[in-house]
Amino acid sequence: RKEVEQDPGPFNVPEGATVAFNCTYSNSASQSFFWYRQDCRKEPKLLMSVYSSGNEDGRFTAQLNRASQYISLLIRDSKLSDSATYLCVVPPSWGKLQFGAGTQVVVTP
């Protein structure tokens, strides 16, 4: 099993709708979690950090479920500009840093 797993998608979302997707991780000792956004042919950029149960920033909400070992990202009122690949990062307490393979979101008019 990979240390960090994501549904690759694509998630096709009508403009204005809500979309949510998960990232599962294997290291139960992980204390910090990150969602990065990557636009086509661009570098990843931090979207949100999560250190406790969750975080919210405008239309974006991240929720952490430690019991089931996953972190979710929810996007409300989707905009065309939200179309991107969303990468989950779960730094391990030891060992190698792992990025998830990414979830592609396509927002359609």
Partner 1 sequence: DAGVIQSPRHEVTEMGQEVTLRCKPISGHDYLFWYRQTMMRGLELLIYFNNNVPIDDSGMPEDRFSAKMPNASFSTLKIQPSEPRDSAVYFCASSLDLRYNEQFFGPGTRLTVL
Decide: is 65 part of the binding site for partner 1 (CB under 8 A). no
Burial-class residue 60 by CB neighbours within 10 Å (0-12, 13-18, 19+).
middle
Spatial CA neighbour of 11 closest among 105, 107, 85, 78: 105
Decide: is 22 part of the binding site for partner 1 (CB under 8 A). no
Residues 26-55 that bind partner 1 (CB under 8 A): 31-32, 34, 42-46, 49, 51
Return the residue matching tokens 């070992």. 69
Collapsed DSSP state (helix, strand, coil) of residue 84: strand
Decide: is 96 part of the binding site for partner 1 (CB under 8 A). yes
Decide: is 80 part of the binding site for partner 1 (CB under 8 A). no
The residues binding partner 1 (CB under 8 A) are: 31-32, 34, 42-46, 49, 51, 87, 91, 93, 96-102
